[in-house]
C-alpha cells in the first residue's frame, strides 16, 4: 500500500482485508475449477486468505 502512496492506517488495512475476503469468498470461474479440491476454510471455520486474494 505504501508503494502506491496509500498510508497504512487501520481503516485502509481493514478495507484491504475486506476486499481480499470478498475475492476469497467469490473466486472467478477458472479459480473455482482449479481450486475445487482445496478448502476455503480452516478447521476452526475461519476463511483462509492467500497472497493471490490481495492482488
Tell me what pLDDT residue 33 has: 58
Buried b (16+ CB within 10 A) or exposed e, 6-26: eeeeeeeeeeeeeebeebbee
Render pLDDT for 16-40 as a digit per residue (tens, 0 to 9).
899 999 888 887 666 665 566 677 8
Q: What Rg do the C-alpha atoms of the chain give, in angstroms?
A: 13
DSSP state of 6: -
Rounded Cα distance between 38 and 55, Å, is 20
6 CB-near residues (< 8 Å, 6+ apart): 12
Tell me what pLDDT residue 37 has: 67
Domains identified in the chain, total number? 1
Tell me what pLDDT residue 53 has: 81
Cell of 28: 472467478
Tell me what pLDDT residue 30 has: 63
Average pLDDT of the residues in 3-23: 88
What range does the domain containing 35 cover? 2-54
Amino acid at each position: 500500500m505504501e508503494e502506491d502512496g496509500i498510508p497504512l492506517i487501520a481503516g485502509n488495512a481493514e478495507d484491504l482485508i475486506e476486499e481480499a475476503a470478498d475475492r476469497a469468498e467469490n473466486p472467478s470461474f477458472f479459480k473455482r475449477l482449479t481450486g475445487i479440491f482445496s478448502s476455503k476454510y480452516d478447521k476452526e471455520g475461519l476463511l483462509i486468505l492467500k497472497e493471490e486474494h490481495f492482488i
